[in-house]
């Protein structure tokens, strides 16, 4: 038992600031939360700049903790990844997001895309593709209304395998987008090999787009490159009209950010979609 304890300690010490006890507690709480259905999905609209229409939603998970209240993903996703719980949690997110999107379509609303975040750990799980196919079948959602958001780190370890997997998903009719674009390594060289449709420009470039000439130049280059590769560019974290105007002048395709809406619970999004609010 002593031996095992030490191994555990070594295994977990790289998550800073948590003791072995806190780790065990956190893992146990996450398991219970899955079991007791304490997770919730919030949705944030993606708005096309040409039309002003909502073209999609990004599903963002929250933990409705019985004592601590609503927790943001930064507080538990890294831990869920560490303990391997991201696979069952991710499957729950996927099922919930797809069934919600189907429910909106069944209400007669204009069909929109549903973007779901995927961690590297999920991507590496052996029944990744099968799970997605199964969820699509169960929920009845047309694959073209599902979009997987992946980061470049997905292809870092085993590039050939990762690209083959992405091709499979692409052939199933699922959309793939690159999240946090510009933050990974050698972003540009990878892009042409990916069967992607959209890149999401990282919030860190958008934040100071109107005051930093570097960030403006990088964003300009990313959008131009996206378009020359026939990809769509969407800007994340747009909070001001100044940012919006600048992105519009660059012919950025779409935006997501507090300027239009924060991530909201499903019932509030339903109201928004019914009213067909435009930008
Ligand atoms: P992300 O995928 O880059 O998601 C965008 C984050 O930016 C979200 O934070 C969103 O609430 C926030 N955001 C949107 N607009 C604005 C804005 O105008 N200003 C600012 N300051 N922030 C904005 P959130 O919901 O806390 O999610 C954080 C991260 O957690 C996500 O980053 C994603 O990496 C991860 N995540 C969320 N849900 C899931 C999930 O279901 N599965 C996995 N694997 N990861 C998830
Ligand atoms: Ca994302
Ligand atoms: Ca992002
Ligand atoms: Ca991120």
Q: pLDDT digit string (tens) for 235-277? A: 999 999 999 999 999 999 999 999 999 999 999 999 999 987 5
Confidence of residue 6 (pLDDT cuts 50, 70, 90): very low
Atom of ligand 1 nearest to the CA of 116: 41
Q: Is the CB of 182 under 6 A from ligand 1?
A: no
**What is the residue with the minimal CA distance to atom 20 of ligand 1?**
237
Atom of ligand 1 nearest to the CA of 239: 18
- Assess whether pLDDT exceeds 80 at residue 2: no
pLDDT in tens, 179-230: 998 877 655 667 778 889 999 999 999 999 999 999 999 999 999 999 999 9
Region 84-105 average pLDDT: 97
Confidence of residue 4 (pLDDT cuts 50, 70, 90): very low
Atom of ligand 1 nearest to the CA of 81: 44
pLDDT in tens, 26-54: 889 999 999 999 999 999 999 999 999 99
Question: What element of type H or E holds 59?
Answer: strand 54-65
- Assess whether pLDDT exceeds 60 at residue 16: no
44-58, 123-137, 155-169: segment of lowest average pLDDT = 155-169
Contact by Cβ (8 Å): 231, 199: yes
Q: Is the CB of 113 under 6 A from ligand 1?
A: no
**What is the residue with the minimal CA distance to atom 30 of ligand 1?**
73
Say what the ipTM of the complex is.
0.98
Scanning 107-180, the segments in alpha helix (DSSP H) are 120-124, 128-139, 159-171
Q: Is the pTM of this model over 0.95?
A: no
pLDDT in tens, 59-70: 999 999 999 999
**What is the residue with the minimal CA distance to atom 34 of ligand 1?**
117
- Assess whether pLDDT exceeds 80 at residue 147: yes
Contact by Cβ (8 Å): 163, 194: yes
- Assess whether pLDDT exceeds 90 at residue 177: yes
Q: Which of 73, 85, 180 to mutate to test ligand 1, by most ligand atoms within 8 A of the CB atom?
A: 73
Q: Is the CB of 45 under 6 A from ligand 1?
A: no
> Closest by alpha carbon to 251, among 229, 234, 271?
234
Give the C-alpha separation, 47 to 138, whole Å. Answer: 28
**What is the residue with the minimal CA distance to atom 38 of ligand 1?**
60
Strands 39-48 and 264-265: antiparallel
Q: Is the CB of 87 under 6 A from ligand 1?
A: no
CA 60 – ligand 1 centroid, Å: 6
Q: Is the CB of 263 under 6 A from ligand 1?
A: yes
When the pLDDT of each residue in the chain is averaged and rounded to a whole number, the result is 89
Strands 232-236 and 198-201: parallel
Q: Is the CB of 100 under 6 A from ligand 1?
A: no
- Enumerate helices (H) and strands (E) in the chain, giving the number of each: 12, 10
Comparison of pLDDT for 130 and 154, the residue scoring more? 130
């Amino acid at each position: 038992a002593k031996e095992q304890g030490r191994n555990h300690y070594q295994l977990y010490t790289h998550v800073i600031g948590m003791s072995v006890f806190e780790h065990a507690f956190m893992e146990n709480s996450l398991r219970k939360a899955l079991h007791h259905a304490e997770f919730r999905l919030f949705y944030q609209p993606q708005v096309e700049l040409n039309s002003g229409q909502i073209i999609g939603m990004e599903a963002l998970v929250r933990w409705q903790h019985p004592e601590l209240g609503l927790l943001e993903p930064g507080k538990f996703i890294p831990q869920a990844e560490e303990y391997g719980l991201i696979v069952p949690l991710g499957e729950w997110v996927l099922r919930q997001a797809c069934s919600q999107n189907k429910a909106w379509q069944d209400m007669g609303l204009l069909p929109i895309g549903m973007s779901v975040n995927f961690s590297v750990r999920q991507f590496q799980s052996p029944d990744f593709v099968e799970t997605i196919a199964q969820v699509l079948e169960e929920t009845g959602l047309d694959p073209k209304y599902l979009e997987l958001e992946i980061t470049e780190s997905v292809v870092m370890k085993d590039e050939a395998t990762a690209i083959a997997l992405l091709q499979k998903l692409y052939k199933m009719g699922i959309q793939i987008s690159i999240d946090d674009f510009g933050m990974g390594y050698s972003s540009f060289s990878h892009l042409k090999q990916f069967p992607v449709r959209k890149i999401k420009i990282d919030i860190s470039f958008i934040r100071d787009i109107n005051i930093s000439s570097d960030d403006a130049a990088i964003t300009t280059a990313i959008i131009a490159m996206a378009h020359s590769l026939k990809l769509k560019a969407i800007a994340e974290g747009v909070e001001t009209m100044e940012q919006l105007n600048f992105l519009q002048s660059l012919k950025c395709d779409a935006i997501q950010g507090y300027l239009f809406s924060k991530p909201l619970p499903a019932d509030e999004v339903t109201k928004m979609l019914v009213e067909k609010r435009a930008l």
